[in-house]
Structure 1
């Protein structure tokens, strides 16, 4: 086994871990499990929305817990996971049905999620969706 093979194996392991974390974070918001969602986030999280607004971890969680955002369904196909050291960038889509401030919305977004290794664990640092319509 060469050093390149070891590197390929470690990148593959990180990609698998990040994909599992992506599933976990989307499942958490659909299930209303905001404590789990919070545990996956970096304290400096910047969470952007498809309408151009942005939240911190605190403001986003407050809106979710107050049911400003209610997630009914999300699917999130991934095109790629780019791993560079302690940074992983997920490139894909986020499609779903939500209620935002009482208004039903159907989402069809391309998105990028940035994960960083923080205190020995992968944490979501930034999320940016872009509407496909």
Structure 2
């Protein structure tokens, strides 16, 4: 078995960390773009950022496919007014990234304005060099917390 010099190991680990950090930032940028597209109701951008196999679980426990989610935006049942992602943590494992944090949003859902304060977990997948949202699940933070 070959012996690898400590300096070489250190450089390999440094490169691995830089790559991981770069990919974490890429996922955060993709998520920023997704939030912007949600607020702008830019379905073309969302179509690119959402994976074809998307499973989107709302805090109401409604589960949408990509098509159902985009249709709800297209027909105006859901309109995002404002969104703020907080305390996001991203871990990258090859072509999969896990993200969790808090999201505070204002949305109009079926004509009713709602203030949403949720914890979320998201799974991103890298396909053809681009990060796409594969799964989303959020849960309401109780007001008494």
Q: TM-score, normalised by structure 2?
A: 0.88
In structure 2, what is the equivalent of residue 69 of structure 1? 78
The question of 1:101 aligning with 2:110 is answered: yes
In structure 2, what is the equivalent of residue 119 of structure 1? 128
The question of 1:59 aligning with 2:63 is answered: no
In structure 2, what is the equivalent of residue 40 of structure 1? 49
The question of 1:89 aligning with 2:98 is answered: yes
| Contact 1:78–1:90 (Cα < 8 Å) also in 2 | no
How many residue pairs match? The answer is 133
When Rg is computed on C-alpha atoms for both structures, the one with the higher figure is 2
In structure 1, what is the equivalent of residue 28 of structure 2? 19
Give the SS at the match of 1:99: strand
What is the distance in 1 between the residues matched to 2:44 and 2:120? 23
The question of 1:79 aligning with 2:104 is answered: no
What is the distance in 2 between the residues matched to 1:36 and 1:118? 16
Alpha-carbon RMSD: 1.0
What is the distance in 1 between the residues matched to 2:31 and 2:116? 17
**Larger CA deviation: 92-101 vs 76-85:** 76-85
5+ residue gaps, structure 1, are none
Give the SS at the match of 1:62: helix
Deviation string 1:10-37 (CA, Å, 9 cap, x unpaired) is: 0000011011011000010101111101
Give structure 1 regions of 4+ aligned residues with deviation exceeding 4 angstroms.
none
Give the SS at the match of 2:97: strand
1:78, CA displacement in angstroms?
3.3
1:8, CA displacement in angstroms?
0.2
